[in-house]
């Protein structure tokens, strides 16, 4: 089921890899024809193993397959900027303050839209969506830093 659902995404990612499926297969220590066949949902060859799928995602740094795999369990992956992983006291405070600022911007805009007519129209939802995503990202990033 996993490979059937994400097979086309994996196949696209492999083809888009610098050097294509041939170079990706070489890096994975696989036969190019064997890898191509295993990624083809219309071929009778066994699909790649889970470890091969994970290695492919890691090598290609593509997200299509990750999104499709996460959809199998009704989840959505989220980018998190982990650069500058400053765990000093000052770094933690700055990161927490960025959470407060992001939450404040989101709450202010959401309250402003609600005060107009007590509901969110399509334009308002479109405007709030990136603010909510940014809030989720900074919250998850801060949580990850605190839980390390």
Query: Do the domain assignments include residue 79?
Result: no
Query: Do the domain assignments include residue 105?
Result: yes
Query: Do the domain assignments include residue 40?
Result: yes
| Per-residue pLDDT at 146 | 76
Cβ contact 128:136 at 8 Å:
no
Q: Three-state secondary structure along 108-135?
A: HHHHHHHHHHCCCCHHHHHHHHHHHHHH
Q: What is the pLDDT of residues 37-63, one digit of tens each?
A: 999 888 898 888 889 999 999 999 988
| Per-residue pLDDT at 100 | 94
Query: Do the domain assignments include residue 52?
Result: yes
* Coil/strand/helix, residue 136: helix
Query: Do the domain assignments include residue 78?
Result: no
Looking at 16-20, 99-103, 127-131, 142-146, which range is the least confident one?
Answer: 142-146
How many domains does the chain contain in total? 2
Q: How many CA atoms lie within 13 A of 131 on its CB side?
A: 17
Query: Do the domain assignments include residue 46?
Result: yes
Q: Which two tokens stand for residue 54?
A: 């994970």
Answer yes or no: do 62 and 105 share one domain.
no
Residue 6 has pLDDT above 80, yes or no: no
What is the C-alpha separation between 95 and 85, in angstroms, rounded?
A: 10
| Per-residue pLDDT at 45 | 87
Query: CA quadruple 57, 10, 5, 77: dihedral positive or negative?
Result: positive
The pTM for the full model equals 0.60
Task: Give the residue numbers spanning the domain of 94.
Answer: 89-147
Q: Which two tokens stand for residue 79?
A: 């980018």
């Amino acid at each position: 089921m996993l490979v059937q659902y994400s097979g086309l995404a994996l196949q696209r990612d492999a083809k888009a890899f610098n050097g294509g499926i041939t170079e990706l297969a070489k890096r994975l220590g696989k036969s190019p024809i064997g890898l191509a066949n295993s990624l083809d949902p219309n071929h009778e060859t066994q699909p790649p193993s889970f470890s091969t799928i994970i290695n492919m995602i890691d090598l290609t740094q593509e997200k299509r397959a990750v999104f499709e795999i996460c959809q199998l369990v009704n989840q959505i992956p989220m980018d998190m900027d982990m650069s500058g992983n400053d765990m000093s006291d000052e770094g933690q405070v700055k990161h927490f303050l960025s959470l407060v600022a992001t939450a404040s911007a989101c709450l202010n805009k959401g309250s402003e839209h609600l005060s107009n007519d007590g509901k969110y129209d399509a334009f308002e939802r479109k405007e709030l969506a990136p603010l909510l995503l940014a809030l989720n990202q900074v919250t998850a990033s801060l949580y990850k830093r605190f839980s390390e």
